[in-house]
Every structure is written in C-alpha cells, then in structure tokens.
Amino acid sequence: MDQATTSIEVANPPILGNIETKQLSKKQQKKMAKMARWLEGRKEKRIIEKARRKEKRAQLHATGVVIPKPVKKTMASSNCKIRVAVDMAYEDKMDERLIRNTIAQLNYCYAANRRAANPMQYYIINFNGFTKTIFESNKNNQNWDAYIVPDRLEDLWQKDEIVYLCAESETDIEVLDPGKVYVIGGLIDHNRYKGFCYEKAVANGFSTARLPIDKYMKMNSRKVLTINHVFEILLRFSETNSWIEALKVIPKRKGITFINSESAEENEPQDEDTGEKATLEDVSNGENSNNTPNC
C-alpha cells in the first residue's frame, strides 16, 4: 500500500561517502550534507546514552543490585502467531544497489521483531539468486530466528490465507487474523513499477488490503512507506491492538496529522532509527525519489 506493499531496511544502510556528489544537484548535495550531520549527531547521542547506561549499571552493581539479563523470546515461544511475509520475487526488477537496500530493510524488520516481547512470525519468501548470495555473504545474517525460504507464496499457503498489502487495494485492514498471512512486496522501484505487486496479487487470485492510514490520519506526503515501516506498524498493532498507536511508527517527516486526536502530544508520531536511516536512499537519488516500493 504505498505503505502496505512497501519496503524494508536494517543491516547496513548506504554510506554517504560512497555517493558520487558530482552527479548531484546543489539541492541534493545540501540534503546529503544535512543527512550526514544528522547521522553524526545520532552517533554522538548513542555514545552518550551508552555511557549513561554503563554508569547506571555500575552504580547498581556497587549497591549489590543484581540486574537480570533480558530474555528475548523466539518466534516459537511467542504468544503472537500473526504471520507476516516479505515477498522477494522481484529481483529482476531491481539493480544491485536497490537489492542491497531491500536486504537492509529486511534487517530492520528482523531487529524490530527481535526487540518485541512477543515477536510475530516473520517469513522471507521467494528468496533466491543474487539476493540470497548478497544476504548470506554477511555473517551477521546467519542463524536468524526467521523463516527464510525459496518457496513461492502459492506453494506455502492456500489462496484464502494470503492477504497482499497494496496501496491500490480498496480494503482497509481492521484486525490481524492469525489464520491469514500478510504479505509485503519486497520491491523498491522508484515509480517504475507502480502497482506491480497489486496486479500480481489480483492476477493470482490473492486477497489484497491496505493499512488504514486514511481512516486515522492525514498525510502531506505520498502514502508510501518502507518495508520495515509497514512491518513495524503491523508489529505495533499486534502489541497494542490500536491503529493510532501502530501508525505512530510513521516518521514525522511524512507530515502526518491524526484525525480526531484527543491530544497532539499523545498522538505524536515517532522518528525511529529505522525510518530515518531509510531516508539515505532518498538523498542519493534526489528529492523526488523514494526508498520504497510502489506495489
């Protein structure tokens, strides 16, 4: 859905230093410089926060307080049985750079799921070829608690189980059904294949749906979200059962306003690391490009 059928990101985002600035306009270079400053600021904040946490742990340890290590749940032990699959059947529609960006967004999804008290059932399907080779070349991508398979949608589930998330769908998601599998198209296309995932879903007889963005908020920009934002919205809804809470995942830069919100502060969207890092692709491709698929 410009949103639901969107893209993903987590591992290592594109590096600004690798972008050919000679090919960028002055406006794009300014945008890139601003992003570089933002990244540096985030880095400094993380160093400070890490030092604070370390100092606090040391103080607690000195007073004899035992700090238990957090135990992360696996998908198998999770109380959440909602299934979300990223369909990676679009390798032939992307160049290497976009494939790497898509893999990065897969990592963002994985990181979010691992942080959850009750992770969703995370599938990466149609995972083959060059995409798989790049993914497996990173040792950090080994031993994931996720279902990563080469199989097609129709080989894994019955048609009546599949709900393909597409911006073009006229059906809003109301609840998440454990009996369904919610599919996000793993395609970053920069408008070249707008609606491609929707057409694929319809042609194969799959049900389609979109995130209920229009029902809960107004957005000044296009309703296209990264794969990881769509994933995190579904994850947040699985935790809170509230679309208002879930849609706060959408970054502030999207210019969103909640409809009938009781409090602007209460319904304030959040700029999470995953969303901001995803904007690196916007910088490298110009202000009108999106690091998102248009399925």
Residues belonging to the active site: 189
CA atoms within 13 A on the CB side of 171: 12
Nearest to 268 by CA among 281, 251, 283: 251
Burial classification of residue 173, based on how many CB atoms lie within 10 Å of its CB (0-12 exposed, 13-18 middle, 19 or more buried): buried
Give the list of residues 6+ apart from residue 26 with CB closer than 8 angstroms, or none. Answer: none
Burial classification of residue 239, based on how many CB atoms lie within 10 Å of its CB (0-12 exposed, 13-18 middle, 19 or more buried): middle
DSSP for 37-63, written as a single string: HHHHHHHHHHHHHHHHHHHHHHHHHHT
How far apart, in whole angstroms, are the C-alpha atoms of residue 270 and residue 156?
A: 35
How far apart, in whole angstroms, are the C-alpha atoms of residue 105 and residue 11?
A: 7
How far apart, in whole angstroms, are the C-alpha atoms of residue 271 and residue 268?
A: 10
Strands across the sheet with 121-125, in order?
A: 147-148, 121-125, 83-87, 181-185, 162-165, 207-209
How far apart, in whole angstroms, are the C-alpha atoms of residue 209 and residue 222?
A: 17
User: For residue 232, which amino acid is it?
Assistant: E
CA atoms within 13 A on the CB side of 179: 2
Structure tokens at 54: 């370390």
Contact 246, 233 (CB under 8 A): yes
The DSSP letter of residue 232 is H
